[in-house]
Structure 1
């Protein structure tokens, strides 16, 4: 009798959440990027080789069919069954994507939410990815989100009261603002806020929590509901598309129920093209935002991407 041999798993006996997918599998099944750009992005796939070799039409698709068709998750053409198709449609939609890291290469999990529903993607035990489809009842989404972004790792307390202030970044004032926050320098914060014509109170309130240095969890959120992706390479490529993109890289000041965000948002006078080789779009759409959330609902807070300040 041989020991140590793994029992072959019948994929038909697994639930959707138990299925494991590779990055290549999901690229084929999604026909491009996932909405939160956790699995498929330029750092998880060699997109130059994809463009040259088009493996999603050949070996990668055959691998999906060979593994998943016998159990009924896809058909002989690689088309997913209704349950899987519903989850993929939600994960790949042009909605709001939330990822656990600002840097694409470091992202390990995320969620996409929008008109097509919501679905998360998380690391699978032993490697690869697993899907986390959300229920149809949207009132249950905050609880489902917290199964992925668990409170232990992503704590977020209710703020004593709400508050919001944002201002466009110009010159070296962004660095001065960051130092003043970290040092609890209320006088400098007040001067910078008045110079921008904004209320200094939220910044001064936040500085009380950040004094002496503060390291909260980070996340990245992008709203692509008004973006038309490019299909010039035969698959969905949002970064090559056009539209009114909004995004925020944030640090959560958990005890304060606050988010310190470094944002970009399309505004009048800006190009709709997302192709930004010289960084002009990012420079001209950049701003900083401080927001307090009395609800303590992390999902609600993350979805509240600020508009570009007047």
Structure 2
């Protein structure tokens, strides 16, 4: 039945028998062939790594044949391109949207480059760390078990080369609303130690002005390498609502709301300081709030944080509720 998979392709070099699954570099076409679709987080299979926008070039049968040719000799897939149990366990978190932590955003359809270097994808039972090398159509991907939640940050820090964080004690967090005039030019003021702007921010949101301006002064005076900003992004759709939209060749897993959570973190590793943007559903919002521009904007807030330790996964997954005390209750059609 699957005899056509066995035709020899001189352009394929088989993986050596005995090669551990987490040492195999997979191509996006191989992952698509094994999953039968794109990965839900679009880290491996997206428009920068595959010809998804050109249906005539999407050839699952040919990709399966080549995947079997390369991977079956090592027992990673069988002759029908079904994954071995170990690979299936690693692929499980990539089939549905759950928790996703990465160092960039999903590329837009016309982007030529995906700037992300890793993605940790997790469901309630499993977590897989995916790391990439190369660029564009030549990117390849390593999959490894990220273990239970308390091991996620060590896995990311050791394998994905995210900068380690110098703790800033005592830890503290101050919430703010970016839409407020007191936040105008805050990012620029932080980098330049603009005392007047920082004082207005501190007075409006209850921050310790002395500590804030002290941190800002250290950042402004630091050497170029010390003041560099790193970024992490979280989407937690474990209890969220996801819409499945079928395109011609693949399924789009579109987060639309429910108890979904999102965060974008800019941090200064050398100083243990972070500015984080959060999105959390507010009382009274519709089930599909995340796909509604007005509601998503009204659900957005921020925080400045002195990080007491270097576990940035714990920071991102702290999932604070919207600070309702900073504004008026949300109502449809009224910006809160």
Shorter-chain TM-score range: 0.7 to 0.9
Q: Is the 8 A contact 2:130 2:141 kept in 1?
A: yes
User: Is the counterpart of residue 237 in structure 1 residue 252 in structure 2?
Assistant: yes
TM-score, scaled relative to structure 2: 0.74
Match of 2:141 in 1: 129
Shift in Å, 1:159: 1.7
Match of 1:3 in 2: none
Match of 2:317 in 1: 303
Listed one character per residue, the Cα deviations across residues 72-115 of structure 1 (whole Å, up to 9, x for unaligned) are 22233322111000011134443221112246321122212341
User: Is the counterpart of residue 84 in structure 1 residue 87 in structure 2?
Assistant: yes
User: Is the counterpart of residue 272 in structure 1 residue 279 in structure 2?
Assistant: no
1-side partners of 2:299 and 2:42: how far apart?
21
User: Is the counterpart of residue 145 in structure 1 residue 150 in structure 2?
Assistant: no
User: Is the counterpart of residue 199 in structure 1 residue 199 in structure 2?
Assistant: no
1-side partners of 2:104 and 2:295: how far apart?
22
2-side partners of 1:106 and 1:286: how far apart?
24
Q: 2:238 aligns with which of 222, 225, 250?
A: 225
1-side partners of 2:93 and 2:36: how far apart?
13
Task: Count how many residue pairs are aligned between Structure 1 and Structure 2.
Answer: 299
Aligned-residue CA RMSD (Å): 3.4
Q: 1:246 aligns with which of 237, 248, 261?
A: 261
Shift in Å, 1:14: 0.9
User: Is the counterpart of residue 286 in structure 1 residue 295 in structure 2?
Assistant: no
Listed one character per residue, the Cα deviations across residues 192-222 of structure 1 (whole Å, up to 9, x for unaligned) are 3443x54355744542443358322222222
User: Is the counterpart of residue 113 in structure 1 residue 122 in structure 2?
Assistant: yes
User: Is the counterpart of residue 21 in structure 1 residue 30 in structure 2?
Assistant: no
Shift in Å, 1:22: 1.1
TM-score, scaled relative to structure 1: 0.79
2-side partners of 1:103 and 1:209: how far apart?
33
Q: Is the 8 A contact 2:131 2:141 kept in 1?
A: yes
Shift in Å, 1:241: 4.6
* Stretch of structure 1 that moved more, 153-162 or 102-111: 102-111
1-side partners of 2:305 and 2:123: how far apart?
23
